[in-house]
């Protein structure tokens, strides 16, 4: 078993950029003739925008979505020719910066629509934007009634609306009736705005069928290996591998405890390994006593409370466990969805919470 040779940190995060690109191509193929964007908010779902954005561009992606202006500016510096939308809309006073960097807000209210139209009027030219229609999330967007009332209003053209979009409420629950209702509402909106493309499907929405596809697919989570079809096996290639170095192995007698507050007590003699990583690295403390790692292919439970910088495993049944060896916390059978469930959360939170202290290693498939 090889040790992790980088001396700067006891854990290494390997990100397969070829898998990211292949996942984008797989998703794009679900809607032949339609276009496929990429949602790369939260630093490319924790995988590193500076690395994943060029990989997606090379795969053929030309439209990108982020959440905040800061993310959009970072994306623009990397992708000078891409179409970049800001999902969280137009915050007051930021319009001139968006225009200066050719960024497109996803307008989520009539006040935003009016402000963007005014900016375009002042500049003497149209600057593209998207109109977000709320079909059930009650979070951002104009209501269906407002959108229908705005159809034909000159302000839509003045604001340069180049895309209509909405956000699915329960796409990962394929049988939820809300999906059909949102499809019907969005179809009504599309009919009221002939000639303006529409974007409806997120990662899971892509697998709800052709009626969900429209003109622009909008995957995010699935690009990075998350399962967009939790009702069946994951169709995406894994992207992440998180490994930690074993700092120490020790024997404990029956009755001994480990970790803060003695939350775990040995019922019989056990062999424990301490990993050089913890919740400060983004591995959730909520996985204490519930999660696991793989050592030599053997599932080893996490014991006691996860510390800021250390995790304790029960490696009694893992003969390969030794100081300087590796434990896999994400990878093989432990994908981000599995890790999320063990921590009482979702894979999205695991991905976007990946810490900055890891040694990050980017590969392109063949050199993984």
pLDDT single digits (tens) 106-141? 999 999 999 999 999 998 889 999 999 999 999 999
368, 294 Cβ separation under 8 angstroms: no
Torsion of CA 14, 45, 52, 137, to 10 degrees: 150
pLDDT in tens, 269-323: 999 999 999 999 999 999 999 999 999 999 999 999 999 999 999 999 999 999 9
For tokens 């590969």, the residue is 363
Question: What pLDDT shows up at residue 133?
Answer: 98
State the distance between the two ends of the chain, measured CA to CA, in whole angstroms.
16
What is the mean pLDDT of the segment spanning 330-338? Answer: 94
State yes or no: pLDDT of 97 exceeds 50: yes
pLDDT in tens, 229-283: 998 999 999 999 999 999 999 999 999 999 999 999 999 999 999 999 999 999 9
pLDDT in tens, 35-71: 999 999 999 999 999 999 999 999 999 999 999 999 9
HEC-encoded secondary structure of the chain: CCCCCCCCCCEEEEEEHHHHHHHHHHHHCCCCCCEECEECHHHHHCCCHHHHHHHHHHHCCCEEEECCHHHHHHHHHHCCCCEEEECCCCCCCCHHHHHHCCCEEEECCHHHHHHHHHHHHHHCCCCCEEEEEECCCCCCCEEHHHHHHHCCCHHHHHCCEEEEECCCCCCCCCCCHHHHHHHHHHHHHHHHCCCCCEECCCCCHHHHCHHHCCCEECCCHHHHCCCCCCCCCCCCCCCEEEEEEEEEEEEECCCCEECHHHCEECCCCEEEEEECCCHHHCCCHHHCCCCEEEECCEEEEEECCCCCCCEEEECCCCCCCCCCCEEEEEECCECHHHHHHHCCCCHHHHHHCCCCCCEEEEECCCCC
pLDDT in tens, 78-95: 999 999 999 999 999 999
Positions marked active-site: 41, 260
Domains and CATH numbers, the chain: 17-224 (3.20.20.10), 238-363 (2.40.37.10)
Question: What pLDDT shows up at residue 118?
Answer: 96
Q: How far apart are CA 107 and CA 10, in angstroms?
A: 44
Task: Grade residue 366 by pLDDT with cuts at 50, 70 and 90.
Answer: low
State yes or no: pLDDT of 2 exceeds 50: no
- Please state, for a pLDDT cut of 70, what percent of the chain lies above it: 97
State yes or no: pLDDT of 4 exceeds 90: no
Question: What pLDDT shows up at residue 53?
Answer: 98
**Better pLDDT: 9 or 269:** 269
What is the mean pLDDT of the segment spanning 208-235? Answer: 96
Pairing of strands 11-16, 240-252: antiparallel
Q: How much is the CA Rg of the chain, to the nearest whole Å?
A: 24
The residue among 163, 203, 166, 161 whose CA lies nearest residue 184 is 166
Question: What pLDDT shows up at residue 367?
Answer: 56
Question: What pLDDT shows up at residue 9?
Answer: 82
Q: How far apart are CA 321 and CA 313, in angstroms?
A: 10
**Please, what is the average pLDDT of the chain?**
94
Q: How far apart are CA 127 and CA 190, in angstroms?
A: 21
Chain-centre distance of CA 240, in angstroms? 12
Pairing of strands 35-36, 216-217: parallel
Question: What pLDDT shows up at residue 65?
Answer: 98
């Amino acid at each position: 078993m090889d040790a992790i040779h980088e001396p700067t940190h006891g854990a290494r995060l390997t990100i397969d950029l070829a898998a990211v690109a292949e996942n984008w191509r797989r998703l794009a193929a679900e809607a032949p003739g339609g276009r496929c964007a990429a949602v790369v908010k939260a630093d490319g779902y924790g995988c590193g925008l500076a690395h994943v954005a060029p990989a997606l561009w090379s795969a053929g992606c030309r439209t990108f979505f982020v959440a905040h202006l800061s993310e959009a500016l970072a994306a623009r510096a990397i992708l000078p020719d891409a179409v970049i939308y800001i999902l969280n809309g137009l915050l007051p006073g930021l319009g001139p910066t968006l225009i200066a960097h050719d960024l497109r807000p996803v307008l989520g209210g009539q006040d935003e629509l009016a402000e963007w139209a005014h900016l375009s009027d002042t500049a003497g030219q149209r600057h593209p934007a998207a109109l977000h229609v709320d079909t059930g999330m009650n979070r951002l967007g104009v209501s269906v009634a407002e959108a229908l009332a705005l159809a034909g209003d000159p302000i839509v053209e003045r604001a340069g609306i180049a895309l209509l979009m909405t956000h699915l409420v329960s796409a990962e629950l394929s049988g939820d009736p809300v999906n059909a209702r949102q499809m019907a509402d969005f179809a009504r909106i599309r009919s009221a705005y002939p000639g303006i493309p529409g974007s409806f499907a997120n990662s899971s929405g892509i697998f709800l069928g052709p009626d969900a596809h429209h003109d622009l697919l909008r995957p995010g989570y699935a690009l990075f290996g998350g399962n967009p079809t939790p009702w069946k096996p994951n169709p995406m290639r894994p992207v992440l591998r998180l490994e930690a170095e074993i700092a120490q192995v020790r024997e404990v007698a029956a009755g001994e405890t480990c970790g803060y507050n003695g939350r775990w007590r040995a019922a019989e003699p056990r062999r424990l390994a301490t990993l050089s990583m913890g919740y400060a690295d983004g591995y959730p403390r909520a996985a204490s006593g519930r999660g696991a790692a793989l050592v030599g292919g053997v599932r080893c439970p996490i014991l006691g409370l996860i510390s800021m910088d250390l995790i304790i495993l029960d490696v009694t049944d893992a003969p390969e466990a030794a100081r300087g060896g590796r434990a896999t916390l994400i990878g093989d059978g432990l994908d981000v969805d599995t890790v999320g469930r063990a921590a009482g959360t979702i894979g999205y939170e695991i991905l976007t919470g990946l810490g900055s202290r890891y040694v990050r290693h980017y590969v392109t498939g063949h050199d993984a």
